[in-house]
Copies of this chain bind each other. A is one copy, B any other.
């Protein structure tokens, strides 16, 4: 019988299971290792994506870039084509497929961006007693398109996407302090407490992921999210782009502690 995946599962073992076809969100797997948002584009769009990341570092903190045709790198002993649980293939900005690997669409001119993920700081929040509502509910973190625009770069433009976590009012300052120490994985919140100011009209209807309740005494706290480049792909409509499916991240070999500053 196959063991269930959990926090004790190592990165290589988790990737092997996903390579074999397992599909599930990756929150709570391979504790202590950074998970990455994926954005894979043809070489002629790669400069724009890299510049978009440089200009919007809170939403697109880069963990690594694999040059054209490369499928692994120092951050990742595995294979980016097969090792995330699920992918999204976009053509002209429209999702056309949600496969469990992308070997069939792979080309040697594809450049891969590994983008930091807030799952890294969630462990630090939980370790200091701040519970994650989506983890407790066993669902994906809720994510929202905002009315805030990213700084455009070349052909790429789009809204900032944020993830939301309900935080008890008396722990908001702690949540800010703790996540500030992880600038390479989105860092401090971009907003606290007022969804309308971000153009979010209904917290119960996230654009990606699953809704969670904001209990009495908690504030909704918003962090820049690595799904932002996917929203930019949808708006900018390049011929081809590949991402992970939201919440279904690529587990890297990079220890989370690498991304913590004092």
Contact = CB atoms under 8 A, between A and B. Distances in A.
A47 B43 contact: yes
A51 B50 contact: yes
A217 interface: no
A47 B55 CA distance: 14
Contacts of A54: 50, 53-54, 62, 65
A160 to B, nearest CB: 19
Interface string A37-51: 000000100110011
Interface in A147-171: 153-154
Q: How many copies does the complex hold?
A: 2
A207 interface: no
A67 interface: yes
Contacts of A53: 54
Interface in A17-64: 43, 46-47, 50-51, 53-55, 62
A108 to B, nearest CB: 14
A148 to B, nearest CB: 18
Contacts of A51: 50, 65, 67
Contact of A47 (B47, B62, B153): B47
Nearest to A55: B65
Contacts of A111: 47
Interface string A161-188: 0000000000000000000000000000
A46 B43 CA distance: 11
Contacts of A67: 51, 153-154
Interface in A111-161: 111, 153-154
A245 B55 CA distance: 27
Nearest to A68: B154
Contacts of A50: 47, 50-51, 54
Given A51-B67, A53-B54, 13 more contacts: A43-B47, A46-B47, A47-B47, A47-B50, A50-B50, A50-B51, A50-B54, A54-B54, A54-B62, A54-B65, A55-B65, A67-B153, A67-B154
